[in-house]
Structure formats: structure tokens, C-alpha cells
Amino acid sequence: SDLQKQEERGELLQPLIFVLLVLCSVLLYFKVSLMDPGFVKPEEEVKEGEDKGQGVVIPQIPGDIKLRRCGYCLVKQPMRARHCQLCQHCVRRYDHHCPWLENCVGERNHPLFIAYLSVQLVVLLWGGHVAWSGLYFEQSREWLQHNIFLLVCFLLIFIFTIVVLLLLVSHLYLISCNTTTWEFMSHHRISYLRHSELENPFDQGIILNLWRFFC
């Protein structure tokens, strides 16, 4: 049959890989959106976790800066944590609240968020290539009527590709500097950054920053 001939020629491999990438993208989306981004536990549990050596390396900061208690959920905030009013929790190493995910991006799900953006970018580029290859341009009303759906799909894919690409590049840049979106945008408002002698006390070099984040 035609299907067996296509399989023998390897023509079904690319569609299969594309479907698997789409499935992987969907699974990553639900994983990142449903998982705990690093919610700060009650004060007793935080101290117990720190005593077991589960915390990250704390940079040198001025001694007069103390950990403050959150005015919303009343827990003592670890450094780099922030309260999200949408999630009603303080989040460790808070980056931002993503409206697409309806969840915060924080210490626990930030690496998976980068993986999701990467897979999504590959899917969009592949889909854009397929849509573009199906277009043949003619200056006629009949051509527009037959290709309007494919043309709209390509334009939407192009817009989403630009958005995802900018998001991925900006996050990779911030990760290479060991800073978060919140710290980058609100540097002047954060006490441990505003009073620090270093512009970014968490920066340990690009290689080590990337290693600590992904590994």
C-alpha cells in the first residue's frame, strides 16, 4: 500500500517526530503549570530545610539586611523570594507570574519552563516551515480565497514564534547572569540588591551560572 511504501522510504518519520514534539510540548506545559514553583513553607519547615543543608549558596550581603516577614502570608521570606498575589503564596527565587501558565515561574519549575519554551520554539519553526511550503503566490482573488486559511495560520505562527524566541533569549540571558526577571525589572526596589556593593551579588560567571541552574 501507499502507507507501507512511505514507511519504507522514511517519509513517515518526520511527521512522527513532529507529533512527538507537540505531545512533549503539551506535557511540559501541564507539568510547569501544575507543579509547585517553589512555594515558601511555614517558618518551622523552612528552618528545618535550611538545617539539613538544602539551601543554595548565599552571597555576601550587608549585615544590616534582615529577612523580612511577608505581610500577606506571614512567613519569613528567604532571600530572592517574593509574594505573588495571584497565587497567594511566597515563591522561592521568584521570576514572574506567567498568565499563559496561570502559575508562577520560580525555583522549582524555572528549568522546565526553559525546556517548554525551547520545545515550543522548535514546534513553531517546524509548523511555520510546513505552512510556508504549502503556499504558492498568485495575484488573484481566487488564489486568496483558496489560501486565506493557510496564510492566516502562517502569520499567527510567525507572531507566536517571535514572542517565544524573545522570551527564550531574554530568559537565557538572565540565567547566564544569575538574575531573575523580577530582580532585573525591580533592582532599585529590592533591599538586598539596592544596598549591595556589587551590582549583582549572585553572579558567579556565565559557565557556573548556567551549570547551577540546569544541573
| 98: annotated active-site residue | yes
Pairing of strands 96-98, 89-91: unpaired
The residue annotated as part of the active site, out of 98, 104, 177, 215, is 98
- Collapsing DSSP to helix, strand or coil, 87 comes out as coil
Amino acid at 147: N
Strand partners, 96: 105
User: Which position has the grid cell 507572531?
Assistant: 159
Q: For residues 28 and 41, give the distance between their C-alpha atoms in angstroms, rounded to a whole number.
A: 25
Cα–Cα distance measured from residue 42 to residue 123, given in angstroms and rounded to the nearest whole number = 40
Beta strand 96-98 pairing with 103-105:
antiparallel
Cα gap 31→116, rounded to integer Å: 9
Q: Where are the beta strands (DSSP E) in 78-205?
A: 82-84, 89-91, 96-98, 103-105
Torsion of CA 33, 34, 39, 41, to 10 degrees: 180
Please provide the distance, in angstroms rounded to a whole number, between the alpha carbons at the two ends of the chain: 48
| DSSP symbols for 160-171 | HHHHHHHHHHHH
Catalytic residues: 98
